[in-house]
Amino acid sequence: MKTRHSLKQNYLLHFLIAVVACLWLPGIAFSSTLEKIQNPGSAITQLQPQQALEKMPKPKPALKIQTLRLETEPNGSWTYFYEVKNTGLVSLNLNEARFKAFQTLADTGEIAIHEVHYATTLAPGRMSTGREPMNRCFSARKFRLEIWYKGQKLDSRTLQVPALKAEIVTAKIDQKKKTWFADIENLTAHACKVSAQPFSGTSLGSKVPHSQAVGTEFSQVVPGNGKAKFMGTLTTSQATGALVIKAKYDNPNCCPAREENFLDAMEIADDGLGIPDVFIQDLTWDQATKRWTAVLKNQNNAPVNVVVTGYVLENAMPGTTIHTPVEISANGTIQVVGNYWTFNLAAGTRLKVNVRVKLSNKLIDSKVIVLN
């Protein structure tokens, strides 16, 4: 049987063991943690600075077209103006960029205009502008600018190309002096280089079978929304019979030789004056019914809306001015009648009839007759 003294000894032994354990175990844990801190590479794989940079994605080049428009110079040549911006994070050497310009024709054929580059550097966020010749063809319908950089297409933009429109307003041939004249109006806001010349034949089309030039060619620039006078001499031996003066657009060399470039034409009457596309073919007065009749002819291949106005030049009274809006079918003829049966018009009174385009009020033709 154990005594009280032996029990006390056992308690003391257990207490000493517990104290030693409390002091020893944290030391083991602390020394282990310290070893890990002192040797971090044993637990975590670290990247060197150069390795980290190599693994980061490189910025891509970015160049965007901000502005693109077509313009004409005073000499009639076409240009395109552009504005580009470096929208990336790296500078671009534009000597390694390629600006490629194209024009699409009416038959969907495409012509490469040129490819240019520039010896300059464009920093991120900076903009650059430029202007280059376009050398447009008559039948151009679209213009496209592409930007390439080191073989990569960065941006592209397409514009509609304005049509070329010009018409012969008046024309005259003087057989005695062997000269010809024409006034040509530009119906667009862009300057246009026009060439005019007289030909044999009566067709107003651009290509007349066996049509032959019978006079010298005259070429000049007609300013936007402006007019210009054209003139030249006739070839003496051939300037006989039916004649027509034609106007065409001067195509640059880059356009196909087969391309159409016809702008307008005007036939010449027996009196040497040009016949408008829409004209008064005949104007008569019937004294018995006191009515005048105007016969209008449309030589266009499309309908035309006009306003016919008849009025007396002497002793005008309310009601003697008559406005008649009509539509003349393509290549058609129409009669317009004015009634003066309620008026007592003196003999010798003159009647004037004007024909104007309905929308623009532009005067196309006019004629005067004397009433019996």
Write the CB contacts of 49 (distance below 8 Å, at least 6 apart in sequence): none
pLDDT at 23: 57
Instruction: Give dist(CA 54, CA 221) in Å, integer.
Output: 60
pLDDT in tens, 167-208: 999 999 998 899 999 999 999 999 999 999 999 875 555 444
Whether pTM exceeds 0.85: no
DSSP 182-195: EEEEE-SSS-EEEE
Minimum mean pLDDT among 16-25, 34-43, 290-299: which range? Answer: 34-43
pLDDT at 211: 72
Contact between 161 and 141 under an 8 Å Cβ cutoff? The reply is yes
pLDDT over threshold 60, residue 8: no
Minimum mean pLDDT among 128-137, 234-243, 344-353: which range? Answer: 234-243
> Domains in the chain, ordered, with CATH?
63-160 (2.60.40.10), 166-275 (2.60.40), 278-370 (2.60.40.10)
